[in-house]
Amino acid sequence: MISRILTRVLHERANSYPIVTVTGPRQSGKTTLCRATFGNLAYVSLEPLDARDAVRSDPRGFLDEYRDGAVIDEVQHVPELLTYLQPEVDADPRPGRFIVTGSQHFGLLASVSQSLAGRTAVVHLLPLGLDEVGRFDDPPDGFWETLWMGGYPRIHDRKVPANEWLADYVTTYVERDVRQVLNIGDLVAFTQFVRLCAGRTATEVNFSSLGSDAGVSHNTARGWLSVLETGFLCFRAPAWRSNVRKQQIKAPKLHFFDSGLACSLLGITSPDQLRHHPLRGQLFESWVASEIYKAQAHRAVSPRLFHYRDAKGLEVDVVAETGAGLAAVEAKSGATVASDFLKPLQRFLPDAEDLRRILIVGGEETRRRGGIRVVSWRQIQSVDWV
């Protein structure tokens, strides 16, 4: 068990709220983190069917048994329990009594917002950031190996072959989680849709094109993508808007949270294959976007990531709003810094004095060049993204 960035936030929230809700994708490490952080509390998993049935049949009796508090895992299986938690913590609002976890963002947060508003803090645990991956024994060292393996903890903790584990993860997600929220008759078509989305990571979302390629309607594509987002497989970065720029393309960009998962969906079976893959630049761009997103989310800062493209063709991969001001970020998987890499950052808001201009590269170079901070991929978390 390595220490996670989110641990400090969990302690802080547990000192202020009677309930802390931890969400995130399946296998992101929620159970391990919560049990290690709150070892003084009893642990109950609602994953087994008999445990769910017992809670459904007598929710008040269940809460009475755990009056001193508990870590309640996979609570989305029994969302009605949250209704009974409300009067329980109203009567006894001791901070940190209940830690509630759930993998399905869609099922859990709808119930939380209805039943526990003002009574719970909500935090998100995503796959490992690069700084967390480095805390394991024998972490991946190379650039392409790091992107290919991704950040799911079990791959690094158990040394499971990444391509095998991620293929099983996709099967479990589609056949188990998706069926719980969508009545999808053709899971083969949905799986193909997920793979098509992976091929469009770091590109602007076009539902008409995506639906056409997947053989479904525009509205179906929109609904299916929302399921991927609420299941923490991917996120959309909106177009950044400024009064300075009047003409902008407003479609959001799609990014996968985990580069390893995207590689698996694309059939990339080795780091060497990734090195020569035509989508390697897009995969790296999404990796950079997700690292910034994790840096903010794991410190309980609401991620504010955008992209920029104007009608004249100027593009900036990521525009991040941070406490230190606006950061314009370009991601280039090449190890050699070409002058063309710098031009978009130099042209974006050229008169802005407090704008941080950052180029993340796939090489080892970290220095300033032409007023732009060039950062090696290894040092991405050395930047203050919060």
Residue 57: domain span = 7-124
Instruction: With beta carbons less than 8 A apart as the criterion, state whether 294 and 300 touch.
Output: no
Residue-level pLDDT at 370 = 84
State both tokens at 339.
């002058």
Same domain, 336 and 251: yes
Contacts of 147 (CB under 8 A, 6+ apart): 259, 260, 263, 271, 274, 283, 284, 287
Same domain, 194 and 115: no
**Cα dihedral 103/40/78/93 (nearest 10):** -110
Is residue 29 included in any domain, yes or no?
yes
Task: From 109, 124, 139, give the residue that closes a domain.
Answer: 124
pLDDT tens by residue, the chain, 386 residues: 799 999 999 999 999 999 999 999 999 999 999 999 999 999 999 999 999 999 999 999 999 999 999 999 999 889 899 999 999 999 999 999 999 998 765 556 666 767 788 899 999 999 999 999 999 999 998 999 999 999 999 999 999 999 999 999 998 887 777 766 676 767 788 889 999 999 999 999 999 999 999 999 999 999 999 889 988 999 999 999 875 454 466 899 999 999 999 999 999 999 999 999 999 999 999 999 999 999 999 999 999 999 999 988 899 999 999 998 999 999 999 999 998 999 999 999 998 988 999 999 999 988 998 889 999 999 999 999 99
Is residue 227 included in any domain, yes or no?
yes
Same domain, 59 and 138: no
Q: Is the dihedral of CA 146, 319, 212, 230 positive or negative?
A: positive
Residue-level pLDDT at 9 = 97
Is residue 118 included in any domain, yes or no?
yes
Same domain, 119 and 150: no
Distance CA 290, CA 234 (A): 9
Task: From 124, 150, 168, give the residue that closes a domain.
Answer: 124
pTM: 0.94
Is residue 281 included in any domain, yes or no?
yes
Is residue 2 included in any domain, yes or no?
no
Is residue 291 included in any domain, yes or no?
yes
Residue-level pLDDT at 247 = 47
Domains in the chain, number: 2
Task: From 90, 107, 124, give the residue that closes a domain.
Answer: 124
Is residue 52 included in any domain, yes or no?
yes
